[in-house]
Structure 1
C-alpha cells in the first residue's frame, strides 16, 4: 500500500484536505444514520408488533440481528476498504443500506423487515462504517484536529443512538413507523451526494488478499455467541451449547490466523493487533460503552411502553434528556482533549454513567412522574459523550496508517458487538416479564458492567496532558 513516508508528505496532505464541511459532514451523517437505525426501533416496539402481527420478542430479535450482522461483518468490511478503496466501500455500503431501508418501509411481515433492516442495512453498515473511521484517521493527523473530527463523528453517532427514540417517536406518531425507514433512505441519499467531495488519501491496494476462511470463522463465532445470549430466556442448555460452539469457532479462527501467519500468508487480522495493550484496553472500553448505551436504551424504552403505557412520542421525549447530555459532552471533545489525558476522560465518563444509572434506579423506581427519568438519563448521556471519542482515539492512534483498515474493522466490530450484546442481555432479562423487578435487575447488571469498564479504563497508560496545536 502506498502511504506517506515523511512528515512533510503527511503535512502536505493535511493542508490539502477540505476541513471541515466537505469531509466531515458526510462522515458524521453516515455514523448518525447507522446509530439511529440501531436505536429508533425501540420506541416502535408496540406499533411494529401490532402492524406486523408479531411480538415484542420478535421486534427485539430484528433489532439484535441488525446489530449482530454489523458486528460479524465489520472486520471483513474493514479489510475490503484496503482492497477496493475507502470511498468506494463507503458509497457501496450506503447504497446497500438505502435499499434495505426502503425494503423495510414496505415490509408486509417480520421476515421482510428482518431482510431489509437486519440483513441489508447491517451489511451496508459493515461496508460504510470502517471507511468513516479510516478516512478520519488518515485525513486529520494531529491530536487536536483528530479529536475534533472524532468528537463530531461520535457526537452524531451518540445523538443518533440517543435521539433515535425521539425522532423515531415523532415520525411514528405523526405518520407511521414505516416513514422512519423512508427518513433513513433520504439521509443516505444526501450522504451519497455529499460524499462526492471526499478524496481517498491512500489509493486502493488490489493485491490485498481477502481471507475468506477467516471471515467465515470470525462471523460464525460472533453470531453463535450472541445467539447464545438471546437463547438465555428460552433454554439454558441451548444457551450453553451456542456459547460453547461460538467460543470454539473463535478459537478455531485464531488458530487459522496463526497458521496463515506461519506460512507467510495474509490473514484476516494479524495477531500483532492484539499485542498492543493500550489498544486492547481501549477496545474493552468501547465494547462496554456501547453495551451500556444500547442496553439502557432498550430497558428504559421497553419499560416505558410496556409497563408505563407511554406511546412512541412520549418515550422519545423522555429520552431527549440523554440526547441533550450526549450532545453537550460530545461537542466538547476537542476542548477536553486539549486539557485532559484520554485515560482521565474515559474513567470520568464511566463514573458519571454508572452514577446516572444509580440515579435512574433511585428516582424512577415507584415514581409515577415521567420527569423522574430525566436526571438519570441526562447523566448517562453526559458520561457517554465524555468517553466515546477518547476511547476511539486511543485505539485508532495506536497503529500506523498501513494497519488502519484492520484496526478500524476490529474497533467497529467490537463496538457493534457491544451494542448487540447490550440489547440481547437487556431483552433476555425483560422480555419474559418487563415489570419493575426485571427492569431494576437489568439496570443493575448494566451498572456492574460499567464498573468493569471503569476498571479497564483505569489500566490505560498515563500520558502527558495534551498541548494545543497550531
Structure 2
C-alpha cells in the first residue's frame, strides 16, 4: 500500500505517523456501523411496532427519516471537514451517533426513537462519513492501494447493510431490539479508541467561509422530495405538491451556488463538480445501487415477517446469502480493478442484481420454503459487491485534493438519498397492501431501477480517463 502523507507536514509534528492499517480499520468500521444502522431495523419491524404501540408505517417512517437526514446533511457535513478538520468531524460525528444510539435503546415511544435513531444518528453519520472517504483518498494515493482501500470500506459498508438483518435478528431474538442499539454504541466507542492514531493529513481552515444559505436550500429540497414520495400512499395531490416544491427548491439551490460563484464567493458546492461526465455517471450509479440495496432489504424483510410470519432471526439468516455474495465480490475489488474497466464492472454488477431481483419475483408465489429467496439474494449481493467500489473510486478519483471535501459530501449525499428513496419507494408500494402482489410490484420497480443503472453504466467511457 502507498504510505500516507506525513503528519508532520500537516502541522502535527511529534505525533507518531499512522500506518495504512491503523487508518483503514476505524474508517471501514465507521462505514460498517452506519450501513448497519440503515438496515438492521428491518428485522425489528414487528418487535418495535408491538413494544412501542406503533405500526409498520411508523417504523418505516423512522428508517426513512434516518436515511433522509443523512442525505440532506451529507453535503454540508463534507464542507465542514474543511473548516474544522477531518479527524475532528469524524470524532464529533461518532459522539453524536453514540448518544443517539443510547437514546434509541431507552426509547419509550416512537417519537423518542425518531429523535435518537433518525435525527441524532443521522446527524452523526452526516458528520463522520465524509471524513471516511476524504481520509481514504488522501492517505492512499496509489491507484492500486486506493482501489484496495475503497474495496475494504465498501465491503464493510455493504456487509453492514446486508448483514444488518442477520445481526439485528440475532440480537433481537436473543435479547431485545433495544440491545441492537447498545451494540451500535459499543462499536462506536471502539471506533473512537481506534481512531486516536489517525493524523489529519491537511490542516483545518477555520476562517474558510461556509455557505449557510446553500446548506439550507439543499437540505430543504431533499427533504421535500423524499417526503413527497412517502406521501404517495396517502394523497396523490400532496405527493405531487411536495415533489414539485422540492424540485423548485433544488433548482433554487443550483441558481444560488451559480450566483455565489459569479460574485466571487465560495458556494456550498462548486458547479465544476457537475461538469465531469464520468463522475456524474458514477454518482448516478451510486444512487441507484444504494436505492436497490436498501429497497430490497426493506421489502424482503417486511414481506418475510408480516406475510410469511418469520421471526427476526429467521429473516436475518435468510439474508446471509446476500451478505456472503457481497462480501465475496467486494473483497475481490482490487483484483477486478486490475483486469476490468469500471464500465465493465458496473454493467456486470447491475446485470447480476437485476437477475437476482427477477429470481425473487419468480419464487414469490411459488415455494413456501424459507430458503426459496436465497438464490435471488445471493445474486443481488454478488452484483452489488462487484459495482459498489468502482463507482466510488471513479467519483473520488475525478477530483484533486482541494475538492475532496465537496465531492465526498456530494457522493455520500447521493448514495444516502438513494438509500432513503429505496426504502420510501419500495416501502410505500409494499405497505399499501402487505401481500404477494404488492411484494412483487415493489420488486418489479427495483428491477426497472436496476435496468436504468445498467444503461447509465453503459455510458461510462470504455477506458477511464487518467486523473
Interval of TM-score (by shorter of Structure 1 and Structure 2): over 0.9
Matches within 5 A, 1:299-318: 299-318=299-318
CA contact (8 A) 1:42 1:165 kept: yes
1:412 paired residue number: 412
CA contact (8 A) 2:18 2:199 kept: no
Deviation at 1:363, TM superposition (A): 2.6
Whether 2:84 is the aligned partner of 1:84: answer yes
1:275 paired residue number: 275
- Pair 344,136 (structure 1): closer, same or farther in 2 beyond 3 Å: same
CA contact (8 A) 2:269 2:406 kept: yes
Moved more, 287-296 or 254-263: 254-263
2:422 paired residue number: 422
Aligned length: 455
1:29 paired residue number: 29
CA contact (8 A) 1:87 1:199 kept: yes
Instruction: Provide the rounded CA distance (Å) in 1 between the counterparts of 2:94 and 2:264.
Output: 35
Matches within 5 A, 1:319-334: 319-334=319-334
- Pair 440,149 (structure 1): closer, same or farther in 2 beyond 3 Å: same
Deviation at 1:365, TM superposition (A): 2.8
Give the unaligned 5+ runs of structure 2: 11-15
CA contact (8 A) 1:100 1:121 kept: yes
1:13 paired residue number: none
Helix, strand or coil: the match of 1:371? Answer: coil
Whether 2:213 is the aligned partner of 1:213: answer yes
Deviation at 1:464, TM superposition (A): 6.4
2:344 paired residue number: 344
Instruction: Provide the rounded CA distance (Å) in 2 between the counterparts of 1:464 and 1:280.
Output: 14
Instruction: Provide the rounded CA distance (Å) in 2 between the counterparts of 1:23 and 1:255.
Output: 38
Helix, strand or coil: the match of 1:359? Answer: helix
Superposition TM-score, scaled by structure 1 size: 0.95
Deviation at 1:364, TM superposition (A): 3.6
2:367 paired residue number: 367
1:432 paired residue number: 432
Matches within 5 A, 1:116-131: 116-131=116-131
Deviation at 1:17, TM superposition (A): 6.4
Deviation at 1:360, TM superposition (A): 1.4
Deviation at 1:121, TM superposition (A): 0.1
- Pair 430,41 (structure 1): closer, same or farther in 2 beyond 3 Å: same
Instruction: Provide the rounded CA distance (Å) in 1 between the counterparts of 2:19 and 2:290.
Output: 28
2:38 paired residue number: 38
Instruction: Provide the rounded CA distance (Å) in 1 between the counterparts of 2:182 and 2:149.
Output: 28
Superposition TM-score, scaled by structure 2 size: 0.96
Helix, strand or coil: the match of 2:372? Answer: helix
- Pair 401,352 (structure 1): closer, same or farther in 2 beyond 3 Å: same
Cα RMSD for the two superposed structures: 1.6
Instruction: Provide the rounded CA distance (Å) in 2 between the counterparts of 1:21 and 1:273.
Output: 30
- Pair 200,301 (structure 1): closer, same or farther in 2 beyond 3 Å: same
Instruction: Provide the rounded CA distance (Å) in 2 between the counterparts of 1:164 and 1:207.
Output: 40
CA contact (8 A) 1:338 1:465 kept: no
Deviation at 1:19, TM superposition (A): 4.3
Instruction: Provide the rounded CA distance (Å) in 1 between the counterparts of 2:463 and 2:142.
Output: 16
CA contact (8 A) 1:341 1:465 kept: no
1:170 paired residue number: 170
Instruction: Provide the rounded CA distance (Å) in 2 between the counterparts of 1:33 and 1:464.
Output: 31
Helix, strand or coil: the match of 2:344? Answer: helix
Whether 2:448 is the aligned partner of 1:458: answer no
CA contact (8 A) 2:364 2:436 kept: no
Instruction: Provide the rounded CA distance (Å) in 1 between the counterparts of 2:78 and 2:215.
Output: 11
Deviation at 1:202, TM superposition (A): 0.9
Instruction: Provide the rounded CA distance (Å) in 1 between the counterparts of 2:233 and 2:367.
Output: 28
2:258 paired residue number: 258
Give the unaligned 5+ runs of structure 1: 11-15
Whether 2:383 is the aligned partner of 1:356: answer no
Helix, strand or coil: the match of 1:108? Answer: coil
